[in-house]
A and B are shown apart, each in its own frame.
Chain A
Amino acid sequence: MSGLDLSISPGERVLLLGASGAGKSTLIHALAGVLGGEDEGEQQGQLLVAGRPAEQSRGRVGLVLQDPDSQVILAKVGDDVAFGCENLGVARDEIWRRVHESLTSVGLNLPLDHPTNQLSGGQKQRLALAGVLAMRPGLVLLDEPTANLDPDGVTEVRDAVGSILTDTLSTFIVIEHRVDVWLELVDRVIVLEPGGGVLADGTPREVLTRHGASLAASGVWVPGRTPAAPQRVPFESTQLVLASDLTIGRRGMPIQAHLDIALSSGRSLAVTGPNGAGKTTLGLTLAGLLPPVSGTLDASGLARGLPPAPIAWKSRDLVSRIGSVFQDPEHQFVTGSVREELAVGPRAAKVAPAEIARRVDEVSSRLRLDRLLAVNPFTLSGGEKRRLSVATALVSAPPLLVLDEPTFGQDARTWAELVQLLAELLNAGRSIVSITHDAAFVDAIADDELRITRQLVSA
């Protein structure tokens, strides 16, 4: 990004928008003074925080990042909040006073020695916020703080920010592509132009009325501009998988029991429910990756000559029968380029090289990855990684797809593309299981919904 002129005054609450790649995160990191040295990029012009260069403002500016797991620093809640104060050289008595105060103001009423690894995503983000508040910053920066959270977590964090605004904190800048989450709390919206400069700057109402359409087109979730639901055509379906009295779990420890599920071609099942209820475990079991604890999982409709239980299939047989898309795409990448990544599945299934090349071309252009074929998967953006992980499953043409949180943290554009693509697959007779928290996604493509609750089985 370049050529940006911007001034933010004390007391302003700013929502920073822009298409992905417009430099929102870079600006926020620069303001926090953690952009890195000269070896990591070039810098021109001036960035002053309270009249001083931003690099000197570390600690006076608080930063909360997107990933809850990589922000927890210490093992106990109290120690984690105290960490920033220690670095600023605050006296011991004052540190514990602030720790107590900050935890209260973000609503984390937990013992100080509560283990941080037992916190939910929303609690971890509030912990990070408390750690930042304890440093008494003049400015707090929030870099997509709710993108990795389920709906309850989003509300928790937003409410925590809302409640500190009234007493301790006056100025903050938040990046978020879901506008509706922050609309009530901000009084200024700035839209960055890709490449540099400011596209729009004003009150939320002004900016959203004037630029709503173009913002929505660039991927921002603008309230009232939900992407249109795709067309579905009825399909005469046959049963592919039947689970009867299924108990699922890990390493023999049951999480859910007595599940009866039928999956059919051309139909889409959404699995919903709270975190920890076993949704991901169910997905992995249906996908033939985890053995059922008990009960039967009969995938005769997919087996084509193999035994009915998918856990008994070889990995190379599985890939052309059931496609899995994990919640974290990075867990699934096994090669150094997008092209290689797409070829892995078909090659394992012994598809002819010419046919592999054809499929790679087709799937990559369908998912807008054709310009990225030489790129390393780990360096892609969040939306591109998601598209690639879906593409790697599609390229083996499995009749059943199991998707874990396919729309998590995606901008409106990627979301709409995914939903459109999945609808086409359903129209063509594929079966889709999606584990999701996303109500709009369920509305858009689910034929059936399986809501599982936190009903732990007594062993």
Chain B
Amino acid sequence: MKQMRQETLRRIISLVLLVVLIAVFTFTTDTFLSWDNITSMLRECGVVGILAIGITTCIITGGNNLSAGLMLGMVCMVFAHLYHYTALSLIAIILICLLAALAAGAFNGFAVAILQIPDFVATLSTGMVFQGITYILAIRNQYGSITSEMIKNPTMALLGGKLGNGIYYVTIAWVVISLIMQVFLKKTKMGTYIYAMGSNRKSAEYSGISFIKVKMVAFLISALCSFIGALFFLGRYGTNDVDSGSALSLQAISASVIGGAAFSGGRGDMIGTLIGVLFMQVLRNGVLKFNMTTAQQSIISGVIIVLMLVFDAYYNEFMQKRTARAAALAREKEGAGK
């Protein structure tokens, strides 16, 4: 019998978790399945979901990107700074922000691919750099919190808006980018190389695939996601608080893991991450309706993530041992038959 792939089983588990959670909240509260609640949940998914797209890509290469959220914070702050203290046009500001994000992404890529620093450590430190820049550009507002100046621009505010019937633009962007990235990962050469590099770096390199190129591409994609996320973030809130970034990273990483991305690399995809983001959001939303605290909700998602990691760590080993035992028993029989 053929063993079921880790991916397949993980997909089933995450879908079942999501469906169970939705079912529980639907039957225990009146408001969960209301149109308003659904659209607002999907809105909450948007920015985290967009970040998770980039982070999942990095995780598939066998790495990670802890700096994605902090990079988003930095881009917001660069935007606010330019908006208030220069006379640049909106287009110019957006372009500069894009360049800043790509430069930051290339910096991540440089640290990981060329300096060969492990992704975790590298992006932990680059994240600190991004946060430092965010602080430099930040101001203290009249309530005493360290934040950016309020951006009151009608074009930007549009990004925070919604289509007539209630679906927010950020939700649409999240789903569309996810689908584009899914096609990229599964149908293009670079997509295949991203999986190959994460799954077995040596063999990918022996096949002539460049480690540096693959890592660079992954971090640039992630930077692009941070940039797009930042625009939607500003569109909604008009401002950015210096501490929001790291929380976003952690939520996005959690969503990736719940969706099936494995830290060991080579596994995960955008559909899984989409499910993971939805799961995190439904949990949060439903729990709020139950008047559970954030602490309780953190514990639930933390425990689920640990279980997923344990599953990833042992599933393949377990299956291999089982196959080896079956083969050995068969060999015994063969021997006895002689």
Partners in one complex: no
